A = this chain, B = another copy of it.
Amino acid sequence: MLSITSVFARLKAVKSNKPASKAPKKQTRDLEKSRKEILDVAFMEVFTRGFQGVSIDDIVKKTSLTKGAFYHQFPTKLDFGYALVEEVISPMIIDRWITPLEQFDNPLDGILKQMKNLIGNAPPAHLKLGCPLNNLVQEMSPIDKGFHKRLQTALQLWIDETEKHLKRAKANGYLKTNVNTKQVAQFVVMAHEGFYGMLKGLDDPKAFHALYNVLEKYFEVISHH
């Protein structure tokens, strides 16, 4: 049984759950829970085979539900894809790449350390799948406007949240005052996508360290010491 959390062990449970939990009500029908189950299963399917490469029949077959439930949640396959971006992938980015930075006094260290944790130490089997967001950007952004819009929003969120921490780095005196935080934030997110894309294409496990070293050196250049 594949789930998001089993793949990304560090990913905490996100999103809402059912209303106030009083008595253990044995619900056999729960709209939100069903939506979560579908999106959870579908995430892995789309992640591994692409949006166009996955059929709705495939998804529901891996679910405890049926096609009726699917189309009760999502009017069309595209709408389902939009929900994937907004309700699964976007929160995941925050959880994996932004929230952890809060623990670092120097966000630059946090960015590097997190890259090492989540990319450098990832098993090759995971690296071959790339980045869920980047995959969808490359595949669906030019094909469908609705996708493009939502993927753009997700990317911009990542950039904006990264910049907040870079501003904090500047305020804390780690970052030189003349560096353009917006530029660096864009570059950092670009590097994430580029790293993922590269490691997906190449098989060389040493490639990460090569890329990482370059980024590290760049960070030194823009840092006070």
A197: which of B129, B183, B193, B201 is its contact (CB, 8 Å)?
Answer: B193
| Copies of this polypeptide in the complex | 2
Task: Name the residue on B nearest A149 (C-beta).
Answer: B203
Contacting pair A138 B141 (CB below 8 A): no
Give the interface size class of chain A. 35 or more
In the complex, what distance in Å separates the CA atom of A180 from the CA atom of B209? 12
Choose the segment among A16-24, A32-40, A48-56, A166-174 that binds chain B (4+ C-beta atoms closer than 8 Å).
A48-56
Task: Name the residue on B nearest A215 (C-beta).
Answer: B187
In the complex, what distance in Å separates the CA atom of A194 from the CA atom of B131? 12
- Which residues of B lie under 8 Å from residue A48 when comparing CB positions? 142-143
The minimal Cβ–Cβ distance linking A199 to chain B, given in whole angstroms, is 9
Contacting pair A156 B52 (CB below 8 A): no
Asked if A155 is at the interface (CB within 8 A of a chain B CB), the reply is yes
In the complex, what distance in Å separates the CA atom of A180 from the CA atom of B210? 9
- Which residues of B lie under 8 Å from residue A129 when comparing CB positions? 142
A191: which of B138, B139, B194 is its contact (CB, 8 Å)?
Answer: B194
- What 1/0 mask marks residues of chain A from 143 to 173 whose CB sits below 8 Å from any chain B CB? 1000010011001100000000000000000
Task: Given the known inter-chain contacts A137-B200, A139-B139, A142-B200, please indicate yes or no for A214 contacting B210, CB distance below 8 A.
Answer: no
Tell me the residues in window 125-140 of chain A with beta carbons closer than 8 Å to chain B beta carbons: 128-130, 134-135, 137-139
Task: Name the residue on B nearest A183 (C-beta).
Answer: B210
A50: which of B143, B183, B189, B201 is its contact (CB, 8 Å)?
Answer: B143
- Which residues of B lie under 8 Å from residue A180 when comparing CB positions? 210, 213
Contacting pair B207 A217 (CB below 8 A): no
- Which residues of B lie under 8 Å from residue A139 when comparing CB positions? 50, 53, 135, 138-139
The minimal Cβ–Cβ distance linking A96 to chain B, given in whole angstroms, is 18
Contacting pair B134 A138 (CB below 8 A): yes
- Which residues of B lie under 8 Å from residue A118 when comparing CB positions? none
The minimal Cβ–Cβ distance linking A89 to chain B, given in whole angstroms, is 12
Q: Known contacts A49-B142, A50-B52, A191-B194; can you find 7 more A-B pairs with CB under 8 A?
A: A128-B148, A130-B141, A183-B210, A186-B198, A193-B193, A217-B221, A221-B221
